[in-house]
Amino acid sequence: MVRTILGVVMLSAILMSTGEAQVAESLNLMPLPAKVQLGNGRLPIDPSFSVTIAGHKEPRLDGVVLLFLGQLRRQTGMPPIDMKVTDSPSATLVIQCAAGTRNVQELGEDESYRLEVGNSGARLSAPTTLGVMRGLQTFLQLVQMTGQGFAAPAVTIEDSPRFPWRGLMIDVGRHFIPLEVLKRNLDGMAVVKLNVFHWHLSENQGFRVESKKFPKLHEMGSDGLYYTQDEVRDLIAYAHGRGIRVVPEFDMPGHSTAWFAGYPELASAPGPYEIERKWGVFDPAMDPTREETYKFLDKFIGEMAGLFPDQFFHIGGDEVNGKQWDANPKIQAFMHTHGMKDNNDLQAYFNQRVQKIVSKHGKTMLGWDEILRPDLPSSIVIQSWRGPDSLSKAAKLGYRGLLSSGFYVDLMWSAERHYLAEPMSGAAANLSPEERQRILGGEACMWSEYVSPENIDSRIWPRTAAIAERLWSPQDLRDVNSMYRRLPEVSQRLEWLGLTHNSSYAVMLRRIAGTDDISALKVLADVIEPVKDYTREETAPAPATSASPLNRLVDAARPESAAARQFTASVDALLATGPRPETEAPLRAWLGRWRDNEVALEPLFAKSLLLNEVAPLSRNLSALGAAGLAALDYLDRGEHAPGAWAAQQLAVVEQAKKPQAQLLLMVVPAVEKLIRAGAGQTVSSPSASSLPPN
Amino acid sequence: MVRTILGVVMLSAILMSTGEAQVAESLNLMPLPAKVQLGNGRLPIDPSFSVTIAGHKEPRLDGVVLLFLGQLRRQTGMPPIDMKVTDSPSATLVIQCAAGTRNVQELGEDESYRLEVGNSGARLSAPTTLGVMRGLQTFLQLVQMTGQGFAAPAVTIEDSPRFPWRGLMIDVGRHFIPLEVLKRNLDGMAVVKLNVFHWHLSENQGFRVESKKFPKLHEMGSDGLYYTQDEVRDLIAYAHGRGIRVVPEFDMPGHSTAWFAGYPELASAPGPYEIERKWGVFDPAMDPTREETYKFLDKFIGEMAGLFPDQFFHIGGDEVNGKQWDANPKIQAFMHTHGMKDNNDLQAYFNQRVQKIVSKHGKTMLGWDEILRPDLPSSIVIQSWRGPDSLSKAAKLGYRGLLSSGFYVDLMWSAERHYLAEPMSGAAANLSPEERQRILGGEACMWSEYVSPENIDSRIWPRTAAIAERLWSPQDLRDVNSMYRRLPEVSQRLEWLGLTHNSSYAVMLRRIAGTDDISALKVLADVIEPVKDYTREETAPAPATSASPLNRLVDAARPESAAARQFTASVDALLATGPRPETEAPLRAWLGRWRDNEVALEPLFAKSLLLNEVAPLSRNLSALGAAGLAALDYLDRGEHAPGAWAAQQLAVVEQAKKPQAQLLLMVVPAVEKLIRAGAGQTVSSPSASSLPPN
């Protein structure tokens, strides 16, 4: 099944020429379809819009169409009493579906579709309901405001995904994320054609599912913050209605302190245990040498295998530091008896035992890189946080794999960096066709040390839309500028659907400012980003815990500053051509605003502790604004600034490069270029440094 | 019960001196409490915050405290695993509640509370759980960001409401409003201590409740847009948890076309009937002469009386035009036989019959002004859309009443105008103490011709907070400037709780602009307001219906422009003192932005039909900006502008006063003043015209 689809996709990728890619790009679609042919004219979308379902009918398809109409209404602001489903063959949109889908969505089910939009009607045909879902999302993205009202351009699209597994993982263990927040993120996933919600349900800091067999798991391991089994079923149904599989993860044998709060006998050292509050890798791990451990897991996995219908069951398996094993004489004796030379051997033994249990309950096991050992059956799937080389190694050994390295959205990387992460790169580029098919796709990962219901959307969106395009669209689409042009459009669509990545920003800034007037704070907040990778821990004034408020500017700041990106591009443009009024004026406006902003913001510092910590950033931005303006003056006059001036300004730049309050001023490199140019120094080429170094 | 509470409130109002009112005002509370005494210092609010419940305990109180903690967490951005309920007597906040509340909240239940906040703890005491709810909301409003972190100031508050009935009516008949939207509005009501949700459930345009006895009511009368009985119960429980009664209204005998779609035999003319799509007053009315009508209503009211536990049952009773009655010979004969001289008599007969049915099912009848006739028992309550004089008349006749005139939030009035509407004004000011007690309070009314789930919050909030203060706080609080200073604070709080009055604005502007960059559109949108009163109908290019999209700028524009109010105040300040740099600079910035905005916005007109219609407004704003700047130049030079210039500019002003796309430019009067001042003409005093004429 998987093989066939991948074959089709690769063919499509070849069929799509560069010219077609440009055509497709003009349509603001994300992810871009495999094949797009623009026609002439447009289909007006007004309240008389109607849909008819021809061909195969099933209740699920009706639900899909109602959902579609709801989204079309929300997008256009049209009322719910028109825009309906009819039996008329002259409906605006005719859906022709060849067959239904399975009750439990499977890996590799056909998601392809063909969409033809003409001046008086549209036709969507697909082999399955899943394809209809994908095609309807494309149709929604085609609908745009025009001078004549809402309309979809005449177009013919043939589309199918490059990879069959396109996921988003959300870690609800470290911070609990309420059901309605997950639901709105599922809505977002459907928009960008992601099809797997990987639900990371247990962590040292929390066990989040009701277990009827082992109730102390959620009762003592969750602070009362868990999903009931009814809620789990509700979420799975919600996802199913959007063409999304739900894969549960219960991390073992490490990352499991929260299990031990209720069941200390599972651990490799005596309890009692409490829910972990700190972040990091901790000692507690399950005892792989006791048969009781497997009896427990057999019952537990049996219960969860019944609750979660998906074929795949994720056992985590990452980051066991082995300290409890080293310190336990019984475990050491067991290892000696069984000829295990190190903890890796012991964990491999554990994985083998767990794999048999998972398999006994009818599921296919999935785990992180660490589980990869040739003694496991080739049915298991490896999820790689290490990279394509690791995936490639697995594929050569006959294992299927998923890429998550490069897609960790908690690391605060730019959309560009995620977009260019490629499952088929590195060693994977040289795999045989058969081996390539073992690379199933990838997953964006939202680890949740620093997310709350309030800011999680802004960590996931819109950057995950770029990851979704990487996983759906042809491999040769790598035009970063095109991606950035289309990203705001999909971001706006996600906001329409109820995601809060934009609206929460203002709400959080108002709290930080301690006032409703956030104009000055926004000038600063718009050009900063949280520190990257894992430096938030390293630069923390005090270690954060799961009880730390996430209400600081670093929690509100966007992972990627669009303003800084635009400013940087404008500086590059100016330096490439020399100062011209039309390129210089906006730069001066920006720099002047920054220079003057400190005066506006400073009175607020004493009134808000949350704002006070960013005072140094504000002063740095002000200094950068003044320095940039002075540099432009030199450039305008065609003079070289004196060396002493440049040295002084570059000292300001060095100061401004340092993280403050775990935040980075993203306009520093561009201002540095202006200063160097003003001083007649060589400036690196735009192509090498047009973007902030993240 | 009611009498006692009112007595206490009036005493409190007398106790609160002007000085105390100023103290209270500094606290940003809304509604302001009856009595406030500021202490020294503050109580820090951090993740170690805890609450203990002393005295009376009941599950409902636990729920109230959990809800409170949830709001405190959201407001401060603190995590859910700390800030908890403990048994410790040294908890940060000790709640002492004397007694519980009834399962069904009653009119006039004691809502008073006493809140003492010190440097190391706080104590909230109240006779009932309801008082605890009100006091906790006050506590939440006390918590502010400070230079030392979140804290509540040391203070002692004694508080109780002026009126026992403080409501918000939402019309879900003309436009269906989904349950979750109602819930977030209930959250908002709780913030400002409103205690009645009046649910206007049936209209010509829709019947919105599932009826098991008469299923064709919702099946044929709602376009599928109705609440199931389970959903109704869910909403009532949600309201009860927030101290809010739910009063259902089923409008009869008029406003009932949607009933007739399923049951045409109820009407006074033969069917068939369809759900009405247009707005206005229509002919169809129930037949008051047929016994079958009362049999139907007996069964129906019996069913609904079981579903809605509140003591009060609203039968509407407004706006019967009588045409169907005039045209029906049987009805005419009936009137003749029974000696009825006009349709008012016939409707009075109907009301008497219905009142007996309502009473038989254990409920007290409530209706609009029109039902007032001395032949109804004095237990009924009159809701007045006519005004305090009408209420006064009812009170003198022995009837209790509610004011809604002055509180119609669909009319797009300013918060000031709503704030100053006073139930005890006009003839009501001269009532005897006993008669005064019959005036129970009032209700903000959200009629829904032009609201959708997307913009309804912005029509209700924040202005309804000002109405809530009118109904809760002492009568002599009428300081409009104080109200406007506190309104943004409560508005921000409402946004934290999930209301979308601010966030939807940007979402809608982006749709209208057809692009993510709404900076230029926002400059315009921030200084406009929808036309007032019922002029939207009068100025409509084509009659609107319930199927008209609500996606235009008039649907997004705020009912009250804060920017226009500020600009107007700044102009008044400048004209009072003459031009000074510090007052003139912000005015010039504003005017310059408006003058230049047309250039930025104009390229978008051709790209968006929704934007195109506001092109004349944009041109007018641009012209006003230029005229205002020129006027300032004359003022700066101490010259009088030539008469010809002034005449020309005043022609621009006249042009700009005309509604465009059903929108008003709210800065026109202030710019006119600048122009007249620049031309040396007499300008009316700020006090008389500092606010736009709405």
The predicted pLDDT at position A211 comes to 98
Q: Which residues of B touch A510 (CB under 8 A)?
A: 492, 495
Residue B484, both tokens: 């406007």
Residue in A319, A454, A584, A602 annotated catalytic: A319
The predicted pLDDT at position B7 comes to 35
Percent of chain A scoring above 90 in pLDDT: 86
| CA gap B238, B246 in Å, rounded | 10
| CA gap B631, B672 in Å, rounded | 10
Cα distances from A62 to residues A52, A55, A87, in angstroms, run 10, 12, 12
Interface of A with B in 532-551 (CB under 8 A): 546-551
CB B247 within 8 A of CB B198: yes
Percent of chain B scoring above 90 in pLDDT: 86
The predicted pLDDT at position A515 comes to 86
Work out whether the CA dihedral A25, A30, A31, A33 comes out positive or negative: negative
B301, containing H or E segment = helix B291-307
Q: Which residues of A touch B75 (CB under 8 A)?
A: 511
The predicted pLDDT at position B571 comes to 97
Burial class of residue B129, CB neighbours in 10 A (0-12, 13-18, 19+): buried
Contacts of B333 by beta carbon, 8 Å cutoff, 6+ apart: none
Interface of A with B in 303-362 (CB under 8 A): none
| CA gap B648, B631 in Å, rounded | 12
C-alpha A95: how far from chain center: 31
Query: What is the band of B100 on the pLDDT scale with cuts at 50, 70, 90?
Result: confident
Q: Is the pLDDT of residue A573 over 80?
A: yes
Q: In this predicted model, what pLDDT tens digit does every residue of A537-567 receive, in sequence order?
A: 888 888 899 989 999 999 999 999 999 999 9
CB B461 within 8 A of CB B415: no
The predicted pLDDT at position A288 comes to 98
| CA gap A116, A124 in Å, rounded | 6
Place of tokens 């010509």: B204
Residue B79, both tokens: 């995590």
Q: How many CB atoms lie within 10 A of CB A491?
A: 21
Q: CB-based contact (8 Å) between A175 and chain B?
A: yes
pTM over 0.90: yes
Average pLDDT rounded to a whole number, residues B354-370: 97
**Which residue type, as a one-letter code, is found at position A399?**
Y
| CA gap B9, B163 in Å, rounded | 8
* Partner-chain residue, chosen from A47, A502, A548, that has the shortest CB–CB distance to B547: A47
ipTM (interface predicted TM):
0.89
Q: In this predicted model, what pLDDT tens digit does every residue of B151-202 receive, in sequence order?
A: 999 999 999 999 999 999 999 999 999 999 999 999 999 999 999 999 999 9
* Partner-chain residue, chosen from A81, A507, A546, that has the shortest CB–CB distance to B79: A546
Looking at every residue in chain A, the average pLDDT score rounds to 93
Nearest to A573 by CA among A670, A667, A649, A478: A670
Q: Is A608 helix (H, G, I), strand (E, B) or coil?
A: coil
Query: What is the band of B682 on the pLDDT scale with cuts at 50, 70, 90?
Result: confident
The predicted pLDDT at position B545 comes to 93
**Which residue type, as a one-letter code, is found at position A454?**
E
Q: Which of A489, A516, A552, A554 to mutate to test the interface with B (most CBs of B within 10 A)?
A: A516
CA atoms within 13 A on the CB side of B265: 10
Burial class of residue B347, CB neighbours in 10 A (0-12, 13-18, 19+): buried
Mutual orientation of helices B291-307 and B343-360 as an angle, nearest 10°?
40
Percent of chain B scoring above 70 in pLDDT: 95
| CA gap A36, A135 in Å, rounded | 13
Residue A616: cis peptide before it, omega within 30 degrees of 0: no
Q: Is the pLDDT of residue B19 over 90?
A: no
Does A223 sit within 8 Å of B78, measured CB to CB? Answer: no
Strands A312-316 and A364-368: parallel
Buried b / exposed e over B198-211, threshold 16 CB at 10 Å, is bbbbbbbbbbbbbb
The predicted pLDDT at position A687 comes to 43
* Partner-chain residue, chosen from A496, A516, A610, that has the shortest CB–CB distance to B489: A516
Q: Cα angle vertex A555, ends A549, A560, to 5°?
A: 170
Q: In this predicted model, what pLDDT tens digit does every residue of B569-587 receive, in sequence order?
A: 999 999 999 889 999 999 9
Active site annotation includes A319: yes
Q: CB-based contact (8 Å) between B499 and chain A?
A: no
CA atoms within 13 A on the CB side of B677: 29
Q: Cα angle vertex A365, ends A361, A368, to 5°?
A: 150
Q: Is the pLDDT of residue A489 over 80?
A: yes
What are the phi and psi torsion angles at B94 (to 5°)? -105, 125
Work out whether the CA dihedral B275, B281, B282, B284 comes out positive or negative: positive
CB B17 within 8 A of CB B477: no
Contacts of B180 by beta carbon, 8 Å cutoff, 6+ apart: none
C-alpha B373: how far from chain center: 29
Q: Which of B50, B81, B605 to mutate to test the interface with A (most CBs of A within 10 A)?
A: B81
C-alpha B270: how far from chain center: 38
Does B514 sit within 8 Å of A77, measured CB to CB? Answer: no
Contacts of B103 by beta carbon, 8 Å cutoff, 6+ apart: B309
**Ordered alpha helix ranges (H), A95-228:** 129-142, 179-191, 216-221
Nearest to A660 by CA among A544, A534, A552: A552
CB A610 within 8 A of CB A551: yes
The predicted pLDDT at position B515 comes to 86
**DSSP3 helix / strand / coil % (chain B, rounded to 5):** 45, 15, 35
- What positions of B carry a catalytic annotation? 319
Average pLDDT rounded to a whole number, residues A606-620: 95
Determine the residue of chain A that is closest to B73 in CA distance: A549
Q: In this predicted model, what pLDDT tens digit does every residue of A264-309 receive, in sequence order?
A: 999 999 989 999 999 999 999 999 999 999 999 999 999 999 999 9
Q: Which residues of A touch B454 (CB under 8 A)?
A: 74, 77
Q: How many CB atoms lie within 10 A of CB B649?
A: 25
**Which residue type, as a one-letter code, is found at position B294?**
Y
Contacts of A6 by beta carbon, 8 Å cutoff, 6+ apart: A162, A163, A164, A436, A437
Q: How many CB atoms lie within 10 A of CB B59?
A: 8
Cα distances from B375 to residues B348, B391, B398, B399, in angstroms, run 8, 17, 12, 11
Q: Is the pLDDT of residue A60 over 80?
A: yes
Q: Which of A456, A503, A515, A590 to mutate to test the interface with B (most CBs of B within 10 A)?
A: A503
Average pLDDT rounded to a whole number, residues B438-443: 97
* Partner-chain residue, chosen from B492, B516, B612, that has the shortest CB–CB distance to A492: B516
Q: Is the pLDDT of residue A464 over 80?
A: yes
